[in-house]
Chain A
Amino acid sequence: MPKACLRHDGRGIACAAQLGFIMADVGYQSDPLCPAQTVGGSIGDFVALMKPRVMSLVVFTALTGIVLAPEPMHPVLAVIALICIAVGAGASGALNMWYDADIDALMQRTASRPIPRGRVAPEEALTFGVVLAVGAVSTLGLLVSWPAAALLAFTIAFYVLVYTMWLKRRTPQNIVIGGAAGAFPPMVGWAAATGSVSLESILLFLIIFMWTPPHFWALALYRARDYERAGVPMLPVVAGPDETRKQIVIYSALLVPLALLPAFMGLGGALYAVVAILLGGVFLARALSVYRTREGREADRAAKQLFGFSILYLFGLFAALLIERVAVLLSA
């Protein structure tokens, strides 16, 4: 394996030999064209730095915030706002991958990311992330709304400084507090349309905020060994899988009734109420299944099922809000 591929940015945890051993252990494949400094990444590598799957969820929840806002937005400005929010999320992803390159290399789930593979140099990822962040925030401010831009800047800073640099490696509450970063996009969308923050947009924030812990802890349950190897103090690593299962049930029991509130606050109607009740029931059932199934492959399967369903659950809630609101706008 070329030595340059294992070079880290000075904060490195592992020496080259250690990394080589661990990467081989998790099936890491080095890029034959390394080092990144002399070959450079492809456009696809830079797209991967932006975590496109996370971006798609961010865009979807931000769109919901824009559409639900009481003040209609010009479609062109709405598209510009969504692009800025998406790029801001991409910037957060790139900066996260820059800072976490050392632990990403140690985890099977993340070892194939562009920096651990040696396809993008850490400094390139840092520059890319900073340029995107500054560009997204300033464009959103100049073209759409400065309150929304300020909220987007806060979101990026929260994700990078508070979650990635401070909490992630220090406390098992990392994704509880850090989850706020992923919950801000509907508030940013709402602020882009109205120029302010309201109780309704805070409610959308709270739903994603409460959804994040059971979602990530379900993943952490069946990836605990990965996190342990990388020294990330996720709840299953620090407090054990049984305590994690208990916390998943507690957060799920808080999330499901909270997700019903939009139906009582005028944000959602009958369709939303039905979707929130049905999907909420399945969510609770899956969480209880994780709680009860504690041994062997069945336990992993239950956790995987909850993780997969949690994505569908959040998508379903926001899709119902979106559909109802669009139907109202079209009939008006």
Chain B
Amino acid sequence: MGAVDVTFKFGGEAGQGVETTGRAFARSVVRAGLHVFGYQDYHSRIRGGHNYYQIRVSDREVHSHNEQVHVLLPFTQVTVNEHLREVVPGGAVVLDPALGIDEKQIAATGARPMPVPLQQIALNEGGDVVMANTAATGAAAGLVGLDLEVVSGVVRDSFGKKGGPVVEKNLKVAAAAYGFARDKYARDFAFKLTGRKGSPRMMISGNDALAMGALVGGVKFVAGYPMTPGSPILEWLAAHSAEYGLVTKHAEDEIAAVNMIIGAAQMGARSLTTTSGGGFCLMVEALGLAGMTEVPIVVIDVQRPGPATGHATRHEQGDLLFLIHAAQGEFPRIVLAPGTIEQCFEAGYRALNLAERFQCPVLILSDAFLAHSPRDLPLEAFDLNVPIDRGDLLTEEQLDTLQAPYLRHAVTESGVSPRALPGHPKAVYPISSDEHEANGHICEDAAARIEQMSKRMRKLETARGEMSAPIEYGPREAELTFVTWGSTVGPLRSVLELLQAEGKTAHIVQIVDIWPLPVDKVEQALQGAKKLVVVEQNYGGQLATLLRACTDVRPAALINRYDGRPMTPEYILRRLQEVA
């Protein structure tokens, strides 16, 4: 770990601006040249309840949140009740005396209550109690010695749209709270943040990175139906549609959404839909349609705990086996499971390429933790000049000179048939959800069935050869090998750093290209593993099941979690003691 490793936690009711405040503070920290990992925990309600936003700050890259809090900023008594035990000895609880929070209770745990009259400052300096959130950001910055100018810059950007007076008032509130906390508490507070010079960095979460990846990958048509935690992708693409020349359609339901993208993709528009597991359930029949008719589509499932409504705003990785098997019958599909922000960006454009190359559905399996948790990245982390590969797509010129009748499902060695988009006089053809011949017409002949079925399934084997090897962290010869997928790799990388700090080590194998499973590459990565522990956020151990079914790998143990809360490094280490 770095010399600096400080966590801030803002907590309060839904509607109190916990997320906005936390995000603004995190952005200030990134602008000060430090690294952050943001974690958001909220309930499925618009008002009330208990939400929090946690920001871990370091002078080195941060891969996950953890269980220690150095500065707690409660907007409610509930926040203190829930999180006081996480505050480290000597850590601060910055509270507004107006909230009537019990200070003795705080002091009794070794934490330090630090009253700051946030609402009073907001009223005095800004004239509106709403600005107490800005005061909280200012107070947190003043306490740890963050440059006031950085906070002011974020305030200017956040409130700029609301006009001069609002910005000015908020700036005054931030400065006053900053000064109050600095003058009264900073001198003997142990945890400090020192800004560093550096080039500008982005603070971005998985959903936004995925949407941006798809946009630069040339997505032209998007349809979706809102469902947490997948809707921000739909909203992001809708917001950028007019400017970047794409069509985003909020459909009447998920069934319409997926069928719309199939219609659009057949015409030649690169298309995607985004949802969560429940919405994906509704899309399943159409998934088979895309498989049968060989229409390239991309479906994003941002997982949340199931079944049914499950935990609407929480985290789980319970859809892996479902996505691999969804829909009746057998057909090729590709499943990508990004686990980092960079991998989300890459999956966004790569899925569009793979869909057109293999003319089949490509599913991106993200999850709530990945979707919502921002990290800071250098601008160069996303190279926007991404490769665009439309696969075996016949050009206008090739179609003009076509000699033989065009066969949409021509039998080939790779299984991929040259694709003509509807609209050319030499390539007029039907496609059908019924089994069909190479020319697309419906056919119940046994030989034709075998021919088309095996042609389609050959694409799966062709694709398997192109699936990337798992990503590895730490030495292969370590005593312990963790196998994982999705965002769980973040906490695992923090575990690796903790082990390294104690002079130990571990090997992590993260499978991103998860279906068709590149069996040889996975087996090779796990060949010398001494003790193999699968780590994933579900009840049954779905990756472990997949490994047993498809490879010679036999995991020794499973570390899992299914309470809707993402794993922390501490959680993994505790469970490791049980399974070791």
Q: Is the pairing of A and B real?
A: no
Mark A residues whose CB is within 8 Å of B: none
